[in-house]
Structure 1
Amino acid sequence: MNFELKSLDLAACAAEKCDALIVLVSEAFAPAKDALSQLIAQARASGDLEAKPGKLLQMYRPAAAAATRVLLVGVGDGAARHVRQAVATAVAAAKGPSLRKVLISFAGADAQKSVRAAVQAVAEATYVYTTTKSKPEGRTLSQVWLCAPDAAAAQAELALGTATVAGVELAKEWGNRPGNHATPTLLGTAAKSLARFPKIRCEVLGPKEVAALGMGSFMSVAQGSKEPLRFIVLHYSGAAKTVAPTVLVGKGITFDTGGVSIKPAAEMDEMKFDMCGAASVLGVFRALGDLKPAINVVGLIPACENMPDGGAVKPGDVVTSMSGQTIENLNTDAEGRLVLCDALTYAARFKPRAVIDIATLTGACVVALGGVRSGMFSADDSLAAALQAAGESALDPCWRLPLDDEYGEGLKSNFADMANVAGRAGGAITAAKFLQKFTGKMPWAHLDIAGTAWKSGAAKGATGRPVGLLLDYVLNQPPALIESAQAAPKSIVRRKMATQAIPAKTVAKTAAKTPRKTAAK
């Protein structure tokens, strides 16, 4: 799908042939003398069109425009979140097999502040997962013009929007794949494919290398599965080596049965989404490959399955983490923190400016925040504030939850340095307190995305969150540490969006060749 910026006013848009013309009508819209402007003015005067965000009026082949369909949609005060809501509503209404070219006119809305939101809304409304379908029917929409009198001013927004969408859709792709099409090995292959972008390199460690590192906690989760674990290390090097990187750590449980503490059968299929933290890290690196900012970022993904065979870790088993701290595993379904803790210890070697782990970690966070905001934990006020601000600007919000020391009392164990769970009360917080024990003096934050990484029900599927939040955060590091990102070209920006997914046939062939190990004893 191609997005193009065009310097066209409303009258010029009305003269263009297209399958759908979407006109974003703000409260500040001042009608000109052209026919379409006058039609909008009449619709508003009669009460048939409201400026309230998402309010829609459709027309088929009106005399005032050359488009097959014209959709007038309110955007309120023109804020980015209102534009995103309006565009999503309009594209969903216009979507069909004949929808191939769409024009979006910012009638009174500030294109410079909302092009990114519009691009993301179009992508979200037209996204289709096809990888494991025998007769895939993907997007029909192939061309989107974003029209404003001064298109040049919105070029940077377009570049950021298309890069964000590419990252979000890569995260969705791997989040949506069934467990047998997204094994740790295949996830490693996906990470390696990102090395085709400038400034990105990737290393994938297997069981022997992980054992040599002493990652006993991570290894204990993987020992019940025939699928070999993978520890993925990604580097984006856009700044000097002396510039400290941001480290992103993504939970990569490619399927979670709960292990011996097995989950109920109902909705267990959704545990393929338990690697959405890892998928979000891949998505951020995909976006960085397009944007090429002058920053350094490291991505760490501990990837494995959590399965209940005869070699699986048992409740009560004590394992030794890479940090040397011992852990009593009281619940094998609290496995995410066991793979993350070793990755957090590994992160210290990069002397990072900040470490952020991203995980579908606790049902308790879903109960607390639902699917609107991701849970965010940090003892570093400046880091927490930066993440909060990044979430708001990216329309991918989070909410800070407490980390009082008293919450960690329940993690005490008679048989190890700590237990991996502390009961039901405050479960999202006690999980964060567990991870905090492995962060040392590093500036660290934890994002619990269990409520925001995917949707259930009829709309079941990965959301690609929090790629937007993370991307805004890494791009907005203090100016003293980074140079300006590469400027967008002065001519009309044209960006082709692609998830660069591995074809389904290739996946099947790779899966058939993937070596399997016997369960560890």
Structure 2
Amino acid sequence: MEVNVAIADIVRFEAGALIVGVFEGEERPEGDTARVDEALGGAISQLIGAGEIKGKLNQVTVIHSLGKLPAVRVAVVGLGKKADITAEKLRGVMAQACRGLRSRGAGTVAGTALGAGTAAIDWAKSTQAMTEGSLLGLYAFRKHITKEPDNGEIRQLTIVDTDAGKLVSLEDGLRLGRILARATNMARDMVNEPANYMTPTDMANAAVEVSRTFGLELAVLEREQALELGMGAFLGVAQGSRQPPKFLVLRYNGRSSAENDIALVGKGITFDSGGISIKPSEGMGDMKGDMAGGASVMAALSAIAELKPRINVMAVIAATENLPGGTALKPGDVLKSMSGRTIEIISTDAEGRLTLADAIAYARKQGAKNIVDVATLTGAMRIALGDICSGAFTNNQELVNKVIAAGSDAGERIWQMPMYDEYREQNKSDVADIKNTGGRYAGAITAAQFLAEFAGDTPWVHLDIAGTNMTEKERGYLVKGATGIPVRTLVNLVLALG
């Protein structure tokens, strides 16, 4: 869908549908909604008086104009209480409204800047939220479906205002919203792909395309190069698969210095069977999404390259499958990581942290001043926080505060988890420097403590997105399947640091 802004009169705008807003508790429409109501002969006011339009958040009432407006229909959306309006709520409202209008065959839609002028929302923020909400809420992954959708697609959304003085703000919000939504949907596409269409080689090809499109530097390290660098943990996971592993390094240079301001490290397990410690067959197909962290950092860097902040950013993805082949890693094996630390393998299904150990070590060797890793790391994280919050773990409170704030701005909730030293005891090994799982209890924390060993004293945040990377049902602008979390958080973080 194409999203635009225009200086125009909503009452005279020709479209398949208009979107206007009503706050909860309003006795009569206000602003542009009042003008649309007048053109409709007071239909909106009558429905408010009858109690059919209440203004409750996400309520959508569709009124046919019957020739009283150039637009065929009007969707009146509930914005909730005016004092509580946020950009995140606007995203959900737009997603709900656009899906409803798509089902009614509206090919073009126009709307005013919802909520603009309230305490929390200016015109740029409204336009950004409306753009993100519509593009994310209308997302569908249909690449492998041959049947045409039952309903057509909304081809164009136009956000309009009569005041030419607001055009720059509208355009700024549109640009940022469009870039963030594109990047998020890119990550969704990658995660939704079946594992036979998203092998490590396919992931490397995606990185090539991203580097060419957005002007990024790219290095693809093959197995032999990883071996030369001593990446025994990463290659240990890869040895059970016939698919060659790929270690991907993307760079955005926003300033002339050679310093590496921040590294975004993403888990890139393109299919996780559990290896010799094989997973139950039920739900194993979902393990195609175990590379969501890698997809997130790649997509985030594409958006960062478009926005051009004055900061240097590196994305690192150790891409491989985890399969139980005849040469596969075994419980009881000992691996030597790039950092020099040795690791006892307790479970081959705790493989993501092995690949991340070498990826984090590589980022440190490249001089990263800050590291944020993103991974679908533990089922324990999903048990702890469900699919509402991602878990954050850190060795640096200042950095994690910035990550959480960036997530809040994006509407991607993050909850900080404890990192007490006592948890490290669970990872102690009798035969190596560390073991790769600390047992059943506090599994998300002990996994983070494992990674902390490789982050050292570099400011570091680990985001466990095991619960938030996928959703089983539609919720606001999240649609069933991959969510694209935390792409927008990562972009916001880099913009704040830059």
TM-score by length of 2: 0.91
Percent of residue pairs identical: 39
Q: Distance in 1 between matches of 2:292 and 2:148?
A: 23
User: 2:6 corresponds to which residue?
Assistant: 6
Aligned partners of 2:142 and 2:35: how far apart in 1?
Answer: 43
Contact 1:184–1:304 at 8 Å: present in 2 too? yes
Q: How far does the alpha carbon of each residue in 1:288-318 deviate from its partner, in whole angstroms, 9 at most, with x for none?
A: 2322222211000000000001110111111
Instruction: Name the SS for the 2:217 alignment partner.
Output: strand
Could you tell me how far 1:34 is from its partner in structure 2?
Answer: 3.1
Superposed, 1:79-90 pairs within 5 Å as 79-90=86-97
Compute the displacement of 1:91 (Å).
1.2
CA distance in 1, matches of 2:169, 2:459: 36
Question: Is the counterpart of residue 101 in structure 1 residue 115 in structure 2?
Answer: no
Contact 1:301/1:343 (8 A) holds in 2: yes
Tell me if 1:348 matches 2:364.
yes
**Separation of aligned partners in 1, 2:31 and 2:401:** 41
Between 51-60 and 416-425, report the one with greater CA deviation.
51-60
- Residue number in structure 1 paired with 2:386: 370
Cα offset for 1:133?
2.9
Q: Secondary structure at the match of 1:388?
A: helix
Counterpart Cα distance in 2 of 1:225 and 1:35: 61
2:127 maps to 1:115: yes
2:31 and 2:340 map into 1 onto residues whose CA distance is: 69
**C-alpha contact 1:218 1:342 (8 A) present in aligned 2:** yes
Letter in 2 for 1:468: R
Alignment partners' CA distance in 2, 1:242 and 1:42: 64
Q: Distance in 2 between matches of 1:166 and 1:354?
A: 26
Partner SS state of residue 437, structure 1? helix
2:153 to 102, 122, 140: 140
Q: In the alignment, which residue of structure 2 is the partner of 1:428?
A: 444
Mapped pair 1:302 → 2:318: yes
Instruction: Please give the per-residue CA displacement for 1:172-207, whole angstroms capped at 9, x wherever unaligned.
Output: 111011111000011001001112245411111110
Q: Which amino acid aligns with 2:394?
A: S
Alpha carbons of structure 1 residues 139 and 111: separation in structure 2 relative to 1, 3 Å: farther
Task: Provide the rounded CA distance (Å) in 2 between the counterparts of 1:404 and 1:35.
Answer: 58
CA contact (8 A) 1:407 1:430 kept: yes
SS in 2 for 1:251: strand
Shift of 1:460: 4.2
Secondary structure of the 1:162 match is helix
CA separation of 1:39 and 1:282: change in aligned 2, threshold 3 A: same
Which residue of structure 1 lines up, in the alignment, with residue 119 of structure 2? none
Q: What is the aligned partner in structure 2 of residue 475 from structure 1?
A: 495
**Range that drifts further, 39-48 or 79-88:** 39-48
Q: What is the aligned counterpart of 2:278 among 262, 275, 284?
A: 262
2:189 aligns with 173
Aligned residue number for residue 324 of structure 1: 340
Corresponding residue number in structure 1 for 2:22: 25
Letter in 1 for 2:322: N
Q: Post-superposition shift, 1:242?
A: 4.4
Deviations 1:336-367 (A, max 9, x none): 00000000000012322310000000011101
| Superposed CA offset, 1:130-186 (max 9, x none) | 223344659722211012343322322211110001111110111011111000011
Q: Give the secondary-structure state (helix, strand or coil) at the position aligned to 2:290.
A: helix
Secondary structure of the structure 1 residue equivalent to 2:18: strand
1:218 to 229, 234, 248: 234
Offset of residue 30 of structure 1:
2.5
Q: What pairs up with 1:117-516 in 2 under 5 angstroms?
A: 117-135=129-147, 137=149, 140-148=153-161, 149=163, 150-456=166-472, 460-477=480-497, 482=498
Distance in 2 of aligned mates of 1:216 and 1:41: 69
- 2: CA distance between counterparts of 1:224 and 1:271? 16
Cα distance change on mapping 1:64 and 1:106 into 2, 3 Å: farther
Cα separation, partners in 2 of 1:398 and 1:108, compared to 1, 3 Å: closer
Counterpart amino acid of residue 167 in structure 2: A
Structure with the bigger RCO (C-alpha within 8 Å, sep 6+) is: 1
Q: How many residues matched?
A: 475
Root mean square deviation of aligned Cα: 1.9
Amino acid at match of 1:471: V
Cα distance in 1 for residues equivalent to 2:182 and 2:487: 10
